[in-house]
Structure 1
Amino acid sequence: MTDQPVDESLYRPCVGVVLANRNGEVFVGQRIESDQPAWQMPQGGIDDGETALQAGLRELWEETGVTADLVRIEAETEGWLIYDFPDDIAKTRWKGRFKGQRQKWLLARFTGEDDAVNISTAHPEFSEWKWVTPLQALEAIVPFKRDVYERMLREFDGRI
């Protein structure tokens, strides 16, 4: 993470969703392709012509089965939060085109019941999921994303 100007073309535009329940807990999912602990919140690329909101709602549905009618968007990060991939990931993902990701984050209040969450989607990304406190989420996130999560959670502080 840097406060210096960056070449945005080196960073994949992405959106993340903090899905928060009525108890102030947040959704985290264990990445399906990882045999190590690799928890994260729903996130994914912003397609051409999509807004961060549109992409966030699409990614939320694709990864959790939660539909737009079961959430209330309460906030969006002011700017882009940027992180670099570890070298092994940067070389292999997206054919090495990106150095990392730049993310907008949405705070989405889940208004449904837990049985509306379904990670067995058409293209599953998570092997399991759970509700955790924001601090527990921060501690569970893979280290190279931790700074972005910390900045995002600080920006949403008091609203989750």
Structure 2
Amino acid sequence: MNAPKRHPRIIVGVDGSDSSISALRVARVMAEPLSATVEAWACWDVPAGYGVYLAVGIEGFKYAAEQVLQQALADAFGELPSFVHPRLVRGKPGPVLIDASRNASLLIVGRRGHGSFVPGSVSSACVSRAHCPVLVVHAPEADDEAPDQGAQVGAAVAP
């Protein structure tokens, strides 16, 4: 009996940084010829030391992440392609994306993002621990004429 053909799935870590917007654009270019779906994942969590927010409510953190995700999608694509699906996930980006890589064909992340104490720590963690190939995308240079053409691939790693 033949196993069902698995539809390619590309997961992109999105935090609103220029490199994550470039990662979305690279995912689109890669997904179209493969007939792959792209999942744009924005991770959010309550920052350490903010225990009082657990009692008051955490909706503000989730709302902020949702706004960042929607803006990044608008900046990357304008109109959202039908094969791109936004996903808002609670948790720290590194562990969440590494876990998600178990069921992905490819994980794409930006080289440097927002909100990380150590620049590149999420991409470094994903490269070293993901369960699928990882593509790290650099943001385009400021003087590039076409930002969607200026993305540079920083690393491609197959586990």
Relative contact order, higher structure (CA 8 A, sep 6+): 1
TM-score, structure 2 normalization: 0.29
Bigger share in helix: 2
TM-score for both structures, normalised by structure 1: 0.29
